[in-house]
Amino acid sequence: MSAMRAELLRRIEARSARLAVIGLGYVGLPVAALFAERGYQVIGVDILPERVKKINAGVSPIEGREPGLPELMREVTASGQLRATLDYGDIADCDIVLIDVETPVNDRYIPEYRALKAALAALGAVLEKGMLVVVESTIMPGTMQGVVQPALEAASGLRCGRDFFLGNCPERVMPGRLLHNLQKMSRVVGGDAPQTAELMKAFYAHVVEAEIDEGDWITAELVKTVENAYRDVNIAFANEVALICEALGADAWRVRELVRKSPGREMLKPGAGVGGHCIPKDPWLLASSVHGKEVPVRLIPAARAVNEDMPRHMLALACAGLGGLNGKKMLILGYAYLEDSDDTRASPAEVLTRLLRAEGAQVEIHDPYVVEYTGDVLAKAVGCDAAVLVTAHSDYARLDLAALKSALRGDLLVDGRNVWTREAARAAGLRLARLGDASESVGKI
Ligand code: SAJ
């Protein structure tokens, strides 16, 4: 190991290495706070003045319930271990820099890396010899070599591997479990060289209790995008089985239950759609990594198409149940993309709302976690012709269906997440259109 790497390793082990985190969102902020708690001096850089002010006041700017994060924020800002800034100049003397900026794809599903490129240019201007830079953002395989390394070398005049060290360590966070996942889920550390992966492993060992697997850049980039594309393809399979079962008058949920008894058949759940910050995007990062190469990428886009079409299928179930949607009033139950979360990114309910309105229906939305849509669900049901469940918030499993029936103007309940049984709906006098189960058809699709 070179003298520079050995010195950095010494500082990592002594926790005297100064850490900078660029991008203080749902990934960067918990990471910064955890390393601060473990004794590192941490400075966080963001572009939002409001967010920097909030963090320096010891307040987490992250919406939703994140167990442990508010307390941790108060502790590490009060102790001075964590400070936020808008100024890249403040990180010039840092030893390690983590990059946690957003990496959205455009409408052609290609990542444009505006935020990443801006961060790389600003960081490159203050990059010093001996620094370790780690990209934690989810990136298209090939980005470290094709975008990150050239950008940092051009902006700094330094050489990767000789003057500074560069790694990729994809995050595996999940809303509602940010601190938990950061500590309990294994990580892949991809370095510009094996010795850099070694440095990264020593660094992450301060917060990661699970396995830390060493590798190179392309492996780390692929693991993250493949694991989420894997999930998307498997959800799409469950959705396609649901459509087949509806057409054949079978119950997809019963079929799934029995299929899962067969070893190695962990069939996922059909649903009203696939939302969130990761799953709808990461498959496209994987697929676009081989653009221009002779690789027939067919399954990943096809799975995306199946999952993106599920809100329209929910529309079709509602339309069949009501004999048309024009002039109808619909109650949507659940706007967050995930049960018991307030995260509305890529929300399937948002797509369904647009589709319903395009059919001339009025839409009322309820969600116990999303502040714009909280309130009394039965009050919102008054005058509605049907209720359509998109998100399986636990509250809905406890909903008094008889009271819902009394409040509704109509008697149709469309269930996109297998929350209710036919018996429960029937007992309440409701007709149940159940995704994946047309055994009691409530209308011809
Ligand atoms: N969904 C289905 N059927 C399923 C599972 C999910 O329709 O069987 C839908 C959900 O309703 C949601 C979307 O897919 O709209 C995504 O759900 P998710 O459970 O995958 O939750 P995410 O988006 O928070 O996924 C994250 C991912 N973790 C990271 O990117 C680090 C994913 O890789 C994890 O598998 C998932 O959390 C998890 O369960 O931990």
C-alpha 278 – ligand 1 centre gap (Å): 8
pTM of the predicted protein model: 0.93
The Cα 90–Cα 413 span in angstroms is 56
Nearest atom in ligand 1 to 341's CA: 24
The Cα 411–Cα 392 span in angstroms is 20
The Cα 316–Cα 333 span in angstroms is 17
Around Cβ 146, how many Cβ atoms within 10 Å?
A: 13
Nearest atom in ligand 1 to 339's CA: 11
110 lines ligand 1 (CB under 6 A): no
Residues assigned a catalytic role: 224, 278
C-alpha 348 – ligand 1 centre gap (Å): 13
C-alpha 419 – ligand 1 centre gap (Å): 18
Looking at residue 1, its pLDDT comes to: 64
Nearest atom in ligand 1 to 337's CA: 15
267 lines ligand 1 (CB under 6 A): no
Looking at residue 176, its pLDDT comes to: 84
Looking at residue 108, its pLDDT comes to: 81
Residue 11 burial (C-beta neighbours within 10 Å; 0-12, 13-18, 19+): middle
The Cα 99–Cα 107 span in angstroms is 24
Using the structure block, give the residue that is written with the tokens 């995306």.
Answer: 304
224 lines ligand 1 (CB under 6 A): no
235 lines ligand 1 (CB under 6 A): yes
281 lines ligand 1 (CB under 6 A): no
Cβ–Cβ under 8 Å, residues 196 and 165: yes
DSSP state of 360: T
Nearest atom in ligand 1 to 234's CA: 8
The Cα 18–Cα 229 span in angstroms is 35
Give, for all 445 residues of the chain, the pLDDT tens digit: 688 899 999 999 999 999 999 999 999 999 999 999 999 999 999 999 999 999 999 999 987 788 999 999 999 999 999 999 999 999 999 999 999 999 988 888 889 999 999 999 999 999 999 999 999 999 999 999 999 999 999 999 999 999 999 999 999 888 788 999 999 999 999 999 999 999 999 999 999 999 999 999 999 999 999 999 999 999 999 999 999 999 999 999 999 999 999 999 999 999 999 999 899 999 999 999 999 999 999 999 999 999 999 999 999 999 999 999 999 999 999 999 999 988 899 999 999 999 999 999 999 999 999 999 999 999 999 999 999 999 999 999 999 999 999 999 999 999 999 999 999 999 999 999 999 998 877 777 7
Of 385, 370, 420, 417, the closest CA to residue 399 belongs to 420
Looking at residue 211, its pLDDT comes to: 98
Ligand 1: which residue has its CA nearest to atom 26?
174
C-alpha 6 – ligand 1 centre gap (Å): 40
Report the alpha-carbon angle 139-141-143, nearest 5.
Answer: 65
Cβ–Cβ under 8 Å, residues 221 and 147: no
Nearest atom in ligand 1 to 392's CA: 11
Using the structure block, give the residue that is written with the tokens 């089985």.
Answer: 241
23 lines ligand 1 (CB under 6 A): no
241 lines ligand 1 (CB under 6 A): no
In 127-194, where do the E strands start and end? 132-135, 165-168, 187-191
338 lines ligand 1 (CB under 6 A): yes
C-alpha 343 – ligand 1 centre gap (Å): 12
Q: Is 208 helix (H, G, I), strand (E, B) or coil?
A: coil
Cβ–Cβ under 8 Å, residues 268 and 306: no
Pocket test for ligand 1, best of 172, 174, 221, 345 (most atoms within 8 A of CB): 174
337 lines ligand 1 (CB under 6 A): yes
C-alpha 274 – ligand 1 centre gap (Å): 8
Looking at residue 201, its pLDDT comes to: 98
Report the alpha-carbon angle 231-395-361, nearest 5.
Answer: 80
C-alpha 316 – ligand 1 centre gap (Å): 24
Angle between helices 149-156 and 114-126 (to 10 degrees): 40
Using the structure block, give the residue that is written with the tokens 């969102």.
Answer: 25
173 lines ligand 1 (CB under 6 A): yes
Looking at residue 174, its pLDDT comes to: 82
The Cα 119–Cα 121 span in angstroms is 6
